[in-house]
Amino acid sequence: MSQITLNLIAISVFSVTMLILLGPLLAISPEGLATVTATLLGVVTIDQLGWQGRGGRLLIDWLSQRSPEYCDRIVRHEAGHFLTAYLLGIPIDNYTLTAWEALRSGIDGNGGVIFKTDDIDRAVEVGKISQQEIDRYCTVWMAGIAAEEINFGSSQGGHDDRLKLNLLWRQINRPLAEVPLKQRWSTLQAKTLIEKEASAYGVLIDAMAQRRPVSECCELIEAHLQSAEV
């Protein structure tokens, strides 16, 4: 059961509990409470079976977006992906910072950096993927976690990023016992890149928070990289 499902069930249970406690004061009949309970559970079931939990993700993310701290964590997480992808030469097509933006862009999750190419998928399909390519993408995938650890000391996001690395290891028939070590190594590499280019990372956070176009974000990164070399 996904975390989104658990969150929705928790919200439903809380709502029903409050209705039970406040029902007498609000003159809500037992039949009314039963109807509300059935409706809430039905909505959760339909969302999971018919929409793969996307409705719940939208609701949870919309509620979470009321918190400035949550929004700040999201943009810093995604800026970590964006910066490392740029530094490692992976073309970026777009980025999203909310579940609604992600849904409109045709991707799952609460946000993400969308690449222009799917070279790694094609390489896996034909069985020709270099270690360098594996290292490059794994570093980008773990960069969101790395960014959160740099900024907040720990990571709350990154579940989907870990799944990508895990799936890659299955596709290339590597022992799954290697995955935790690869995650740690990739996170360390990403931290090194982000900390080395802290100035570019800082302006990128501000630009992404303002929903600046990808091209402008890349120009800002490049300008700060060049100024750092002077």
Tens-place pLDDT, residues 48-81: 544 444 555 555 555 656 688 888 999 999 999 9
Find where tokens 């890149």 sit.
193
- Asked if pLDDT for residue 110 goes beyond 50, the answer is yes
**Residue range 68-229 in CATH 3.40.50.720:** no
Residues in contact with 141: Cβ distance below 8 Å, sequence separation at least 6, in sequence order: 81, 161, 162, 164, 165, 186
The mean-pLDDT minimum among 41-45, 74-78, 106-110, 156-160 falls in 41-45
What residues does each domain of the chain span?
A: 3-64, 68-229
pLDDT level of residue 129 (50, 70, 90 thresholds): confident
pLDDT level of residue 41 (50, 70, 90 thresholds): low
